[in-house]
Amino acid sequence: MAATEKLNFTIATTHPTTLPWAALLRDYFVPVSSKRIEAIYPNIELEWHQAYGTLYKWQDSLNGLKIGLSDIGWVGSLWESSRLPLQNITYDLPFITDDLSSLLSVMNDLHHDIPEMQDSWSDNDLKFLAATGTDTYHLVTNFPIRTLADLKGKKILAPGAASIWLEGTGATAVNGALTTYYTQLKTGVADGAVTILSGAYPFRLHEVAQHVTLVGIGAQFVGALAINLEVWNHLTQPVQDVFLEVARDYSRLSAEAANQRYVEALEALQNEGAILYTLPLVEKEKWMKSLPPLALNWVDRLEARNLPARLVLKKLMLGLKARGIRPVNSWGVDLLALDN
């Protein structure tokens, strides 16, 4: 019998396993991929070197994978507006839907159907495997918010592409990531954060900012599981097929986990003394009206770079519509005209 051959992979994320997209790499993607590949190749044993939140920092999620510090890993597209411009479409569509599962399903389809979506990754020496995202965004602050005007003059943490959500509110956007928010809030670098509750709770943000204002800015595509392109090109077709299949299931499961953690986080925050308040609809509408035409501006900006932004926007909206979702804010997009 032939000797067992080891197939080695390093898999990494910039965030720890307190977040669902990191935990499921460890708990689902790694063991299931190993089992299926070893079933195809009995003489191959997969050996994983796993680094969750330890190998490189949040701002290096793309570069770490690109230069080969890891073979497979999570890339935060929300910090890569220039290198992954088409991927950041959902950040220019706040207030469209809180349905993360449907949104990720649509984003996976866009990557499959539109070559330029895949090209964004291959231009950075990466291969897209599956979409990941977050539960809807809210506000966590060290001051109470009862009206939109309460944000004026405040410094609010808004990661990367999310900074545009504060345009027109009078607040100043401060960059950062969940891994840095606690210190930034504690030291006065910021007064609050636009963030996800499934992340805010495990990072204990309510200890330094106890006011949680429920806004529902929308679920977001924040990044993806990807693989170094050189590594990908050296894999056999059956191994590639396994990674793609398991990654798609991982994407679905990560959305379900995020939704469950959101419910658990909301309850835990309330039990631990956070002050919860739901922003009235009239104030939410003021927020939406205060923003520029983000989606159409995004289209104009990227079409000027010869990128198919209009097609991406159309297919995204049609994908949501096909799943029975009518956006809270359609951003000037005529949903009826999309079928034409």
In tens digits, the chain (340 residues) has pLDDT values of: 356 788 999 999 998 888 888 999 999 999 999 999 999 999 999 999 999 988 888 789 999 999 999 999 999 998 898 899 999 999 999 999 999 999 999 999 999 999 999 999 999 999 999 999 999 999 999 999 999 999 999 999 998 778 999 998 999 999 988 889 999 999 999 999 999 998 899 999 999 999 999 999 999 999 999 999 999 999 999 999 999 999 999 999 999 999 999 999 999 999 999 999 999 999 999 999 999 889 989 999 999 999 999 999 999 999 999 999 988 887 877 654 555 4
Domain CATH code at residue 304: 3.40.190.170
Are 233 and 108 in a shared domain? yes
Beta strands (DSSP E) in the chain are 5-13, 44-52, 72-76, 126-134, 137-141, 155-157, 172-174, 192-196, 211-214, 220-228, 275-278
Place of tokens 């950075």: 124
- The reply to whether 195 falls in a domain is yes
Are the C-beta atoms of residues 198 and 261 closer than 8 Å to each other? Answer: yes
Find the domain containing 244 and state its range.
Answer: 5-80+100-133+221-262
Are 207 and 250 in a shared domain? no
Are 181 and 225 in a shared domain? no
Are 227 and 214 in a shared domain? no
- The reply to whether 87 falls in a domain is no
| Helix axes 100-113 and 115-122, enclosed angle (nearest 10) | 90
H or E segment at 102? Answer: helix 100-113
Q: CA 229, 231, 237: angle at the middle one, nearest 5? A: 95
Are 164 and 73 in a shared domain? no
Rounded Cα distance, 82 and 221, in Å: 16
Are 233 and 155 in a shared domain? no
Among 140, 126, 90, CA closest to 319: 90
- The reply to whether 93 falls in a domain is no
What is the strand order of the sheet 72-76 is part of?
44-52, 5-13, 72-76, 220-228, 126-134
Are 210 and 302 in a shared domain? yes
- The reply to whether 91 falls in a domain is no
- The reply to whether 94 falls in a domain is no
pTM: predicted TM-score of the whole model, two decimal places: 0.89
User: What CA dihedral angle connects 271, 179, 183 and 208, to 10 degrees?
Assistant: -10
Are 282 and 166 in a shared domain? yes
Are 127 and 191 in a shared domain? no
Rounded Cα distance, 101 and 81, in Å: 23
Are the C-beta atoms of residues 154 and 139 closer than 8 Å to each other? Answer: no
- The reply to whether 151 falls in a domain is yes
Are 214 and 173 in a shared domain? yes
Domain boundary among 194, 229, 262: 262
Are 295 and 213 in a shared domain? yes
- The reply to whether 92 falls in a domain is no
Are 154 and 51 in a shared domain? no
- The reply to whether 95 falls in a domain is no
**What is the number of domains present in the chain?**
2
